């Protein structure tokens, strides 16, 4: 479904960060990206959704038999690709002054006429879809609360509901539990895994907790010195963990 081939990216000072990254993500997989801080895990996600352009290599997304060459698509094609890639950020990236419902509805902007939504609002169908997404993540009762009044765990559930609204083929999660307590972290990872399996999508998550990856991922990719140093089962030996860290 997602094919990443020979991706490389340099830092602004010219120092190589990602040197030769190759892997795939299939439907129904929760793939955890692990590695020391600064190895380029977040930069890799940004290359996949083209917030950053890699210096070389190819990234192809194929969710419905119609492959998109992400690395070489034009602006119009990029808009089409991005609406099929849901993103869950470490800092939630919500508009705090807006209601929970309106934050979730922004996930439909890639599928609709944004100017129409700005002046006339979203359709009743989209509102129903957003309420269903909030029910799916367990916070439908917070739909009309201002997002800035929520806890961190509630904010991350809103972010996941917003991603669901995109009807994604691929879900990218950049340290989605970094700012959450252990119990909330477990609930968020359970939710991401459930959505991955039930929707038949792929999830690629940057994590800094090997024990969480071992429990919730179906596969682990380790990055070290700019290359993939491990790609396999999450239940691996201490010796294999040492190759990543």
Q: Average pLDDT of 50-54?
A: 94
Q: What is the pLDDT of residue 119?
A: 42
Quick one: pLDDT band at residue 114, thresholds 50, 70, 90? low
Q: Please state the pTM of the whole predicted model.
A: 0.92
Quick one: pLDDT band at residue 111, thresholds 50, 70, 90? low
Q: Average pLDDT of 213-219?
A: 96
- What digits encode the pLDDT tens for the residues 123-174? 889 999 999 999 999 999 999 999 999 999 999 999 999 999 999 999 999 9
Q: Average pLDDT of 83-103?
A: 94
Quick one: pLDDT band at residue 76, thresholds 50, 70, 90? confident
Average pLDDT, the chain: 92
Residue with tokens 């479904």: 1
Q: Mean pLDDT check: name the lowest of 52-66, 74-88, 115-129, 147-161.
A: 115-129
Q: Average pLDDT of 23-29?
A: 97
Residue with tokens 């979730």: 104
Cα 131 from Cα 154, distance rounded (Å): 15
Cα 76 from Cα 74, distance rounded (Å): 6
With H, G, I as helix, E, B as strand and everything else as coil, classify residue 87.
strand
Domains defined for the chain, CATH in brackets: 1-84+169-245 (3.40.50.300), 93-167 (no CATH)
- What digits encode the pLDDT tens for the residues 152-165? 999 999 999 999 99
Residue 73 has pLDDT above 80, yes or no: yes
Q: What is the pLDDT of residue 45?
A: 97
Q: What is the pLDDT of residue 130?
A: 96
Q: What is the pLDDT of residue 225?
A: 95
- The runs of H, that is alpha helices, within the chain are 41-48, 75-82, 100-105, 114-120, 124-136, 152-165, 182-199, 210-216, 238-244
Which percentage of the chain shows pLDDT scores above 70?
95
Residue 34 has pLDDT above 60, yes or no: yes
Residue 112 has pLDDT above 80, yes or no: no
List, in sequence order, every residue forming a beta bridge with 203; answer none if it has no partner.
30, 171
């Amino acid at each position: 479904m997602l094919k990443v081939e020979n991706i490389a990216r340099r830092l602004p000072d010219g120092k190589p960060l990602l040197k030769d990254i190759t892997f795939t993500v299939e439907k129904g997989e929760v793939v955890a990206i692990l590695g020391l801080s600064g190895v380029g895990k977040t930069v890799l996600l940004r290359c996949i959704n083209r917030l950053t352009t890699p210096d070389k290599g190819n990234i192809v997304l194929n969710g419905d038999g119609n492959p998109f060459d992400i690395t070489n698509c034009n602006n119009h094609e990029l808009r089409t690709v991005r609406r099929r890639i849901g993103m869950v950020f470490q800092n939630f990236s919500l508009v705090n002054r807006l209601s929970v419902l309106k934050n979730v509805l922004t996930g439909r902007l890639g599928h609709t006429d944004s100017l129409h939504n700005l002046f006339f609002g979203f359709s009743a169908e989209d509102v129903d879809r957003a309420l269903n997404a909030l029910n799916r993540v367990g916070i439908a009762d917070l739909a009309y609360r201002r997002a800035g009044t929520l806890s961190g765990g509630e904010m991350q559930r809103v972010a996941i509901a917003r991603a669901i609204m995109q009807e994604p083929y691929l879900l990218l999660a950049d340290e989605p539990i970094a700012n959450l307590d252990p119990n909330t972290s477990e609930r968020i990872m359970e939710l991401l895994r459930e959505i991955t399996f039930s929707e038949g999508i792929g999830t690629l998550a940057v994590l800094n907790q090997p024990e969480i990856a071992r429990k919730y991922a179906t596969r682990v990719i380790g990055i070290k010195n700019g290359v993939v140093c491990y790609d396999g089962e999450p239940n691996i030996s201490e010796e294999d963990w040492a190759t990543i860290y």
